[in-house]
Amino acid sequence: MNNKPIHNEEFRKMMAGEVYSAIEPELLAELNRVKDLCWEYNNLRPTDMEQRQRVLREILGCYHDDTFIVQPFYCDWGRNIHVGKGFFANFNFTVLDEATVTIGDDCFIGPNVAIYTACHSTDPKERNTRREWARPVSIGDNCWIGGSVTILPGVSIGDNCTIGAGSVVVRDIPSNSVAVGNPCRVVKTINQGQ
């Protein structure tokens, strides 16, 4: 697993949710290292499960033997992605993991899902300084995230949730919810035992 520590002030600020420089050379070097690993993963034969698992183990911060991510897969840091047991993601899973992304056990991710933790200023002058910040995302156990869902920075999705295809999740979703739309909103609460 990708647990080698990074001793860098800008990385520390990034992980603390503070404003940091996204163009600091050591950070860029680590991002490129992970991009190379993603390229390697995405260019392996789909049937070469041993090599696929080896590379995923090197990319992700928390990984289990039953983790399955369909190629292609894209992320920034990898080390900040923590998935539970029984995790499955379909093709084009994209994670901008400048902050921690935690996904619980038995979660299913549809195709073309994007999880964003990176935040940028709405002021163009400030944005052009390449200074940014990040907010963590968490998804509980037993969740199904439908195809082409976008999850924005700082969102928490509780246990046993279904997020409908094409939704844009801009705020927290409580456990036992079916939620859909842009912006995503709860349309049904699931009673345990149903």
Tell me which residues are annotated as active site: 120
Three-class secondary structure of residue 47 per DSSP: coil
Burial label for 89, CB within 10 Å (0-12, 13-18, 19+), is buried
Going by C-alpha positions, the residue among 99, 95, 105 that lies closest to residue 133 is 99
DSSP assignments along 78-124, one per residue: STTEEE-TT-EE-TTEEEE-SS-EEE-TT-EE-TT-EEE-EE--SSH
Could you tell me which of 83, 100, 75 has the C-alpha nearest to residue 16? 100
Angle (deg, nearest 10), helices 25-42 and 49-59: 160
Distance separating alpha carbons of residues 194 and 180, to the nearest angstrom = 20
- Whose tokens are 């509980």? That residue is 140
Residue identified by tokens 């940028």 is 120
Reported as type and span, the H/E element at residue 135 is none
